[in-house]
Chain A
Amino acid sequence: MHSFELFLPDNIKDASLRGGPNAVFKAAGTDLLDRLKERIENPETLINLLEFKKDLAGINPQAGGFDIGSLTSIHDIASSASLAGPEWRALKQAAETTATPQIRNRGTLGGNLLQKTRCWYLRSEAFKCLHGGRGPSCLAVDGENRYHSVMGTLDCMRVHPSNLAPALYVLGAELSTQSGEESNRFPIAELYPELPLASEAEHTLSDNEILTHIHIPAAVTGTSTAYVESREKLSFDWATTAAAVLLVMKGKAILSGRICLGAVAPNPIPCDQAAEMLAGQDASMELFGKVAAAAYAKAVPLAQNEYKIELGKAVLRDALAQASGLR
């Protein structure tokens, strides 16, 4: 890696004030360290947010929901007794499937939401990747694209790798950030760029904006959630497709639902139209099949990833079946 200045701030404000175009915030650093060593990230200053971990780690009940600090470890979410109910299950399932025990112990919720894509063209400086600012066009378009996007793309075929983001989407999470003295609160959808161009980062935070808390609102009676992802192996793999769902049930009847897909597009993809098909219906695999088809209706595969569409539908059906109690 290139040499850099390591800044150890006392508090969020100091950290934020040191932010800028040539600085990088570091949470656990599980991925950042790799990118530094590969020299695809070459900051002048590294700002270590773990200095004030005690202020930003923890799962605190709040008005029937939770405020979760952005530096809470993935393991703490996966093992939290507070999140044991069916209404929070999607979040726990997403946390449990993340990476490895070592990374779950160290890695943070904030880091998971703000991850860089795993696209192999981005992650090697030898490739003239558009998203990496090294070339004129996306190499995955007609390159090796078995793991790339099947929807929601513009000029970059990357997929968003966060498995916790889809779960937080369906839970209706909001995020708090701080920039200097100023704090801000907004729905999770606004964390991701409206138009995920290659020139856009994976998230919309500004250079000096620090994600501090994730707020999960209270759940309506009858809420049940689930998160399912497909992968090629069970130990340490990235999802090939993922789905998080929230259902509000009364007996067998679904009063309303929410769906968010992961690992199939540059952003997590909420599927409101497909979710509307659930409202007022009785849970059945037939219904879930139709909903899954609708969620993927606009998917357009690249040369090597058509399988992801069928797989994505299966995963979504499974998530709906789990949330509704059919499985």
Chain B
Amino acid sequence: MKNEHEMRVGFAGDNRKIKVDVPEGDLTPWDLDTKLESVGGRSDRIDAFAKVTGRAKYAYDINLPGMLHGIILRSPHPRGSVKSVDLSKTLDMPGVKAAVVMKQGERNRIRYVGDPVAAIAADTLDQARDALSAIVAEYEIEAHNVELLAAEGAPNLNENNISDPWPVPRPAARRRPADPDMELEVSEADVSAEGTWSMEVQTHSSLESHGNVVWYKKETDSAEIWASTQATFGARQALASALDIPQDRVTVRAEFVGGGFGSKFTPGEEGMACALLSKQANAPVKLMLDRFEEHTCTGNRPSAVIQIRAGAKKDGTVVAWDTRSFGGPGCNGRGGSTSHHTNYFDNAKHRRIHVDLATDTDASRAMRAPGRPQGVFAMEGMMDILAAKCGLDPLAFRLLNDNSELRKAEWQLGAEKFGWAEHYNASPGSGEDPRYLRGAGMASAFWGGMGGGKHRVTCRIHRDGSVESRNGAQDIGTGMKTLMAMLTAEELGISPEQIRVSMGNTNDPPGPASGGSTTTPSLSPAVRHAAGLAKQELGAKVAERLQVDANKIIWQNGHIGLQGGEMIPFQEACKLIGAEPIEATGIRQANYDGYQDNVCGCQFAAVRVDRETGLVLVEKMLGVQDCGLVINQKLAESQVIGAMIEGISYVLHEQRIMDPKQGRMLNGDFANYKIAGTLDMPEMEAIMYSVANGKNNVGAAGLGEPPSTAAPAAVANAVSNALGLPMRSMPITPDKVLAALHSKKK
């Protein structure tokens, strides 16, 4: 059963009424006309104090009586196979309680330096590490390659442009309609350009490393697990399977997670090892990876080379856009795909062909908008090149070609707030300052993330007035717990501080894995629904007390009662509840058709380039971003600013540096893997652009990934504007800037 409901959706530049089908039992959806109290405010994170004082306990912080420490023997060779593993000596080493082989039988391939071979658990971590050397592993070593451009099928790179062999679409992709003849399309345009962009591997660099504490208990054949995970329920499934026990006997806890960025969807081989060691030893085992393992064995954002050829009419209209790219996803040979949105050339002839090339390195994993920052870096770079060829300002060129009305409004707002006209260097590559060149750049963001799934949330109201909102999924740092408090408070008409939120325990109702920018939009409607159902029950009790019909009851200013009649404070009303609390379960219903299915944004950066040392300093950055209903302004801005910080770090500093001969990472630590720090940060501003998307009873959209798609490109374009030369290789380190400045002198 569905009820047709009219709601006002859209944004300031385009708001209108639409009809949606609201499922039976769901709450009336919030829209542009709804007046909200808590939601839309700037509440602090409810766990901020616990986090900054160290009271928040992460998996890494868990220590149990009798707990053993696990460690993994990893292959020192990048490619080959394991012939044999002998654990007999290691089991005699002091403190060693358990040991398992992880490469045997047909599953003996070595695919990268760090591939797990065996694991042991001992009383102390140092004992475990000592015992590693007593494992006798024999390898059959094969020739390896860790470099993308030396991989089989790699293109040639001439004068910084890739050439034959060109990537051909995989057979599966051939079912698409025939690609246009891009050769012809580009060559026939009034204005055309081509270029190749390249980028290195970025590692996730989560502050808390991957790992688990697994406590298998033989007496009950059950397990308690503390996991650093982006998917508590997925972890339970995988680890129950590894332990070979039913899922109902496994509890996974992840009350706090120290970052994941896409790399913590499964417990991984370290989780499997930890489970097996715990079962063998019948004792709790902690197995958290060290920083080198974290950089080399838990995935990464893959490297890529991307060639774009594009053409436009004299007036600046893009007519052809051809992207051919190669990705370097490591040993699994897929998942390195770079991508871009098509808002600039949906009406042009366009095509995208991508091929992944295998190398003997750690397999890539999803990382905050997989493939997108890479693809947008190249796409927005080409946009500036074409704009210049058409004699148009980058902003004017984008306003001409962007087919998103929403983003056009954002471009204009952002350009004004940022001061585009003032920061853009109209004579690229020159300036009065004898020391520094200055320039500005911009880039667009685009993502989906409307959420879904059949998640459930429990809301409890107790006799003493305390309120709980509970879900078993994890808050990986986005602030979901805080949003749950705000949504529940909004529905009940009380303050968010009155709500106690629990997340990250699989004994609570199921929730999503945190990926694809979906946790907030997936859970929020269920949070509100649960609170709404609990509210109805409490309302019924008040109605009974006042001896009126339940539908006469209103909620106002923290009071419940009759319009113009008796109003009972929430706290007093709760006394009508008995020893058993009110408990309601909210359900995440399917999304309505709604207003739109994606989010947009744009970012602007201003940089200063030292002509003598090649050092790039970002001086100012501004992001405009929509994400449906903004539940908490402060947390939303924090996501956008965080994405800009990460983007600055990626585009200017981060890269995995491999020793090609040994196939081993050289900078697998935080001393040499360079991440931008506080002194490298510009003045930053985030402007949230509110949109009512009409997708569900709340209307929030995911925000983790969208702003990260634009940041590297905006900074790179600013550097190119300052230098008067396109900078097409990330990271833009001083040596590359100096080389570019040199090439100009010639």
Residue numbers of A with Cβ under 8 A of B are: 1-3, 34, 39, 100, 118, 120-121, 124, 126-127, 139, 143-144, 146, 230-237, 240, 307, 310-311, 314-315, 317-318
Contact = CB atoms under 8 A, between A and B. Distances in A.
Contact of A232 (B659, B671, B734, B739): B734
Contacts of A126: 76, 662, 664
Given A2-B126, A144-B666, A236-B677, A311 B659 contact: no
Contacts of B659: 121, 127, 139, 143-144
A264 to B, nearest CB: 14
- Of the candidates A3, A127, A233, A307, the one having the most CB atoms from chain B within 10 angstroms of its own CB is A233
Contact of B614 (A146, A233, A235, A311): A311
Interface string B590-614: 0000000000000000000000111
B672 interface: yes
A3 B125 CA distance: 12
A311 B739 CA distance: 11
A259 B734 CA distance: 24
A307 B612 contact: no
A186 B671 CA distance: 33
B205 to A, nearest CB: 14
Nearest to B739: A307
A120 B450 CA distance: 45
A233 B679 CA distance: 8
Interface string B194-219: 00000000000000000000000000
Interface string B725-740: 0000000011100110
Contacts of B126: 1-3
A118 B673 CA distance: 13
B413 interface: no
B617 A234 contact: yes
B679 A234 contact: yes
A232 B653 contact: yes
| Interface class of chain A by DSSP | loop
Contacts of A100: 677
16 contacts: A100-B677, A121-B659, A126-B662, A139-B659, A144-B657, A144-B660, A146-B735, A231-B615, A233-B679, A235-B679, A307-B735, A307-B738, A307-B739, A310-B738, A315-B613, A317-B612
A307 B664 contact: no
B177 to A, nearest CB: 46
Contacts of A314: 612-613
B238 interface: no
B652 interface: yes
Interface string B63-93: 0000000000000100000000000000000
B661 A143 contact: yes
Nearest to A3: B126
A70 B661 CA distance: 41
Query: Which of B613, B678, B680, B734 has the most CB atoms of chain A within a 10 A radius of its CB?
Result: B613
A118 B739 contact: no
B332 interface: no
Nearest to B676: A233
A2 B125 CA distance: 11
Contacts of B678: 235
Contacts of A146: 735
A230 B734 contact: yes
Interface residues of B, number: 34
Contacts of A39: 129
Contacts of B679: 233-235
Nearest to A305: B735
A25 to B, nearest CB: 22
A201 B349 CA distance: 64
Given A232-B653, A236-B677, A318-B612, 14 more contacts: A1-B126, A2-B130, A120-B657, A126-B664, A143-B659, A144-B660, A233-B676, A234-B617, A234-B677, A307-B735, A307-B739, A311-B734, A314-B613, A317-B612
A286 to B, nearest CB: 14
B667 interface: yes
B672 A120 contact: yes
Given A233-B677, A311-B614, A318-B612, A118 B733 contact: no
B615 A230 contact: yes
B674 A237 contact: yes
A235 B615 CA distance: 13
Nearest to A231: B615
B667 to A, nearest CB: 6
Nearest to B670: A236
B733 A232 contact: yes
A120 B666 contact: yes
Contacts of A2: 126, 130
B721 to A, nearest CB: 21
B734 A240 contact: yes
A318 B658 CA distance: 33
Contact of B615 (A118, A121, A144, A232): A232
Give the top 6 A-B pairs by smallest Cβ distance, nearest first. Answer: A235-B677, A234-B679, A307-B735, A314-B612, A235-B679, A120-B666
Nearest to A228: B613
Contacts of B653: 232-233
Nearest to A39: B129
B342 to A, nearest CB: 34
Contacts of A240: 734
A232 B672 contact: no
B411 to A, nearest CB: 30
Nearest to A34: B671
Contacts of B734: 230, 232, 240, 307, 311
A237 B735 CA distance: 15
B612 A233 contact: no
Interface string B672-702: 1010111110000000000000000000000
Interface in B125-139: 126, 129-130
Contacts of B613: 230, 311, 314-315
A100 B658 CA distance: 26
A139 B659 CA distance: 10
Contacts of B614: 307, 311
A230 B733 CA distance: 12
A284 to B, nearest CB: 14
Interface in B165-197: none
Nearest to B612: A314
Contacts of A237: 674
A234 B612 contact: no
B674 A311 contact: no
Contacts of A143: 659, 661
A234 B617 CA distance: 9
Interface in B646-669: 652-653, 657-662, 664, 666-667
A240 B735 CA distance: 10
Contacts of A121: 659, 666
